[in-house]
Structure 1
């Protein structure tokens, strides 16, 4: 069954903190305030384009939902819940801060059929949290994550890499700590310098250096391996491109790429293939034959054939062939 999310962005509502990387109106592309009528309009617009039989979910993103005025939260939830009661929508998800979760909040979220709660954790390193002005502690993350799971919600964890004070080792350590929380889903966002943020000021004064695209891809490949080897679904890598989040838009610096997840998957494939080459001593051959599923061909080849070019240069292959039919490739060197 196809899973379709109807996203409703509520930029910077419910959050009293100014995280140094945050400008939710720029990031979400949602510049106007959200009204009850606009929520209905967004839902109706999406429903008109969704095929029958899809699993539909309404998602409140962009702000700290449970930090919004309680009455306003209820009005949004009541609208979304109407579409569950009337049939076309199956569930509701929302994102919020780790320090804006308690038993009372979870009780009324359950009443309105919220099924997934995503926490904006960003890092589980104290120095990174402090330098980013997150305003919550690691203990808040541990406590709220346990409460969410104990109440029967699906838990999502949103993380960032490349924040001030972060490092490869700290990012890997955060991933390992996230695994211990046993979330159902994870998002990984390489930090971008967005216009109108304090991080932009630090970047312009030379006090902050963002990750390069290569560094971000390498690190995300490692983190995805950690999560997926522990049966945790990574549902997004990188911000969704919008009219604002794009080359020439509001991204001042940082590892932005409209298809960064594909780059990460290609890097993982390249690493796997290299390990097979070395383990099976496949160097010194003129031709390398790879047998793969059709869905994996693009990640094996890489964007602009980057993986093929690398393997040829690194191992002196004259030709690399990727097959999808075992009948045409009975003597393959690598099966991926």
Structure 2
């Protein structure tokens, strides 16, 4: 195994330049601040994410908050199910590392704790998970997916303890700033919980990414743009944009079948993403601009399966409209 790959001097580079658009070469040629540019400015080379399933649960499923979960979430909590199949954290990273090395020639990796809620356990267990992941060769940091109502100061302190040596991102499932929407999708927390969780992480200088879903039931363009503005005002560091697609076996699928929910068209989604990007501050790192559903579980819309088409349409539309990130902020 390698020695610690991400030393304090490198972190000073991350804190000092990675969040500053004007210091990144040729960034003005881009329409938005993308995650690959950010990572290259930090490490000087390609860095790939490796998704890990830790088998943790969710308080919105086990009865602490609710037993139903969010209306759009699958039974695996957006995970790959590898933990249930007996793959340890190390096994999953090694598997992903070899694949990324073959496909992208990547040598550095971020471990993404994605499925369910990765702070919904004890600090002792959290530390054991993170320590195991960060000892694998080539791993330079981690991204921790969680809910804003599953964080506290003790957990934040633990996460912050890794920042002197590793790149660390804390990813909050926000989805919308509108409490009526959060209740409608059975999210199990309000926007005030998001504000509190963001402020707590900022207190410890941890990078924060907000997950936002476009096309939620009952929301119009004006509401989604208000989400963009409020998220920008919170001072977060990154955003992931997701299309609300319908997964088989969910309550959302029932709503779709009975006509109470209608999916966005591809053109509607592309326009919303462009507008959302323009409403964000320039310094916010846009980590993702659409989702990537599994073909075997997608009920609708089928166009969501063509990730590259959607991605390219967004790039083209930004050019056609001549808009950039921050234009409307």
RMSD, aligned CA: 2.4
Describe the SS at the equivalent of 2:212.
strand
2:53–2:89: 8 Å Cα contact kept in structure 1? no
- What residue is the counterpart of 2:248 in the other structure? 195
Q: Is residue 2:3 matched to residue 1:3?
A: no
* Correspondent of 1:19 among 70, 78, 87: 70
| Cα distance in 1 between the residues matched to 2:77 and 2:195 | 30
- What residue is the counterpart of 1:159 in the other structure? 212
TM-score between the two structures when normalised by the length of structure 1? 0.72
2:245–2:263: 8 Å Cα contact kept in structure 1? yes
Q: What count of residue pairs does the alignment treat as equivalent?
A: 263
Q: Is residue 2:113 matched to residue 1:60?
A: yes
Q: CA deviation at 1:122?
A: 0.2
- 1:23-73 per-residue CA deviation (whole Å, 9 max, x = no partner) reads 153844x23435885211121223345388844211100211111355543
Q: CA deviation at 1:267?
A: 1.2
1:26–1:250: 8 Å Cα contact kept in structure 2? no
2:77–2:116: 8 Å Cα contact kept in structure 1? no
- What residue is the counterpart of 2:31 in the other structure? none
Describe the SS at the equivalent of 1:221.
helix
With a CA cutoff of 8 Å and minimum separation of 6, indicate the structure with the bigger relative contact order: 2
TM-score between the two structures when normalised by the length of structure 2? 0.73
1:36–1:75: 8 Å Cα contact kept in structure 2? no
| Cα distance in 1 between the residues matched to 2:176 and 2:275 | 16
1:12–1:25: 8 Å Cα contact kept in structure 2? no
* Correspondent of 2:313 among 263, 268, 276: 263
The residue correspondences of 1:170-319 to structure 2 (distance < 5 A) are 170-227=223-280, 229-241=281-293, 245-246=294-295, 249-254=296-301, 256=304, 257-259=306-308, 260-272=310-322
Describe the SS at the equivalent of 1:224.
helix
Gaps of 5+ in 1: 274-336
